[in-house]
Amino acid sequence: MIVSTSYEVVADELKGRVILVTGANRGFGLAITNDLARAGATVIMLGRDLGSLEYAYDAVVDAGFEEPILYPLDLEGATPEQYQELQDNVEKQFGRLDGLIHNAAILGTMMPVEQYDIKLWYSTIQINLSAPFMLTQFLIPLLNKADDARVLFISAEQGREAKAYWGAYGVSKHAIEGFSKTLSEELEKTNIKVNTLDPGKMQTELRRAAYPAEDSSINPLPSDKSPAIVGLMGLSGKTFQGQQLQLGG
C-alpha cells in the first residue's frame, strides 16, 4: 500500500506521545527523530554510540524541538537483561510507550551466497532481525499500556523481492516482513498497530555502501521522507494493520 511522502507536520500533533527510534543518531533515524520531536513527541533515541547520540541530541534541541531522551545500546550484543533494564527505565519514566520504530540496520556486504562472510551474516541477522524481535518482546507490555500504539518496521524493497547479492540484508528484511505480519495478527485485538514501511532510496551511508558507483546526490534526503512517519505515528496511521507500506507519490 502506497503512503504519500508529502505530509505536513502540524506543531504538537504528537505532543505527549513517547516514541522509541532505533539507529536515531544518523541517516533516516535522525531525520525521523527530528520530525517526531518537531511534532512534539518525546523521542527515546536508541543508538550504539553515546558520542554520536549526544551530537544528534544537540541538533534536535538547538532546533527548538521537544527534548529527546538518549539511550545507548549496541543492538548486536544487547542481552535480555539489558532489554529488561530498558523496559524498566521506560516504565519508570513514562509508564507506557506509544510508538516503536525499528529503523537501525546494517548492509552487511553485497556478495554471492557462496562467498558470504559467515561472521558478517550472523551480525547482520542479529542487528536487522533478532534485535527487533527482542526489543519488541520486551516493549509489548508498555505498548499495551498506551491508548493507541504503533510498531513500525523500516523495511526495504529487497525484503519484498529477493535479489542476487543482497545476502543477509535481503534475507533479514524478508524475515522482518514475516515477523511484522505474525505480530500484527497476534496483536490484532489490541490497541497496537503493526506495519512495515519501505521508505525507498535515500542519501545515507547504507545506500552509498550498497551503490558505491552511484551519484548519491540524485537520491532524496532522509528529511524528504521522514515527515510521513509523523503521520504514521499519529491519527492517519491508525487505519493500517499488518500492511506492507511503501512511501511514494
Ligand X SMILES: NC(=O)c1ccc[n+]([C@@H]2O[C@H](COP(=O)([O-])OP(=O)(O)OC[C@H]3O[C@@H](n4cnc5c(N)ncnc54)[C@H](OP(=O)(O)O)[C@@H]3O)[C@@H](O)[C@H]2O)c1
Q: Where are the alpha helices (DSSP H) in 63-204?
A: 80-94, 118-125, 131-143, 167-186
Query: In the range 204-233, which residues lie near ligand X by CB under 6 A?
Result: 204-207
Query: Whole-number minimum distance, CB 142 to ligand X, in Å?
Result: 20
The residue with cell 558507483 is: 213
> Cβ atoms within 10 A of the Cβ of 203, count?
18
Residue 87 or 172 with smaller CB distance to ligand X: 172
Residue 52 or 244 with smaller CB distance to ligand X: 52
Residue 58 engages ligand X in binding (rule: CB under 6 A)? no
Residue 199 engages ligand X in binding (rule: CB under 6 A)? yes
On the CB side of 136, CA atoms within 13 Å amount to 26
- Give the binding range for ligand X (CB under 6 A) out of 8-16, 42-50, 79-87, 227-235: 42-50
Q: How far apart are CA 169 and CA 115, in angstroms?
A: 15
Task: List the one residue from 26, 38, 174, 193 that touches ligand X (CB under 6 A).
Answer: 26
Q: How far apart are CA 105 and CA 124, in angstroms?
A: 8
Strands (E), 155-229: 192-198
Residue 125 engages ligand X in binding (rule: CB under 6 A)? no
Q: Output the nine-digit C-alpha cell for 17.
A: 506521545
The number of angstroms, rounded, from the C-alpha of 110 to the middle of its chain's C-alpha atoms is: 22
**x/- string (CB under 6 A) for ligand X, residues 84-123?**
-------------------xxxx-----------------
Residue 25 engages ligand X in binding (rule: CB under 6 A)? yes
> Is residue 226 helix, strand or coil?
coil
Q: Is 169 a catalytic residue?
A: yes
Residue 202 engages ligand X in binding (rule: CB under 6 A)? yes
Torsional class of 146: left (φ above 0), alpha (ψ -120 to 50), beta (otherwise): beta
Asked whether the beta carbons of 101 and 20 are under 8 A apart, the reply is yes
- Give the binding range for ligand X (CB under 6 A) out of 25-33, 34-42, 110-118, 143-151: 25-33
Q: Output the nine-digit C-alpha cell for 201.
A: 532510496
CA 85-89-94 angle, to 5 degrees, is 150
Instruction: Name the residue with the smallest CB distance to ligand X.
Output: 27
Task: List the one residue from 97, 156, 192, 245 that touches ligand X (CB under 6 A).
Answer: 156
Residue 49 engages ligand X in binding (rule: CB under 6 A)? yes
- Give the binding range for ligand X (CB under 6 A) out of 37-45, 70-78, 91-99, 188-196: 70-78
- Footprint of ligand X on this chain (CB under 6 A)? 23, 25-29, 47-49, 52, 74-76, 103-106, 127, 154, 156, 198-199, 201-202, 204-207
Which residues does the annotation mark as catalytic?
A: 169
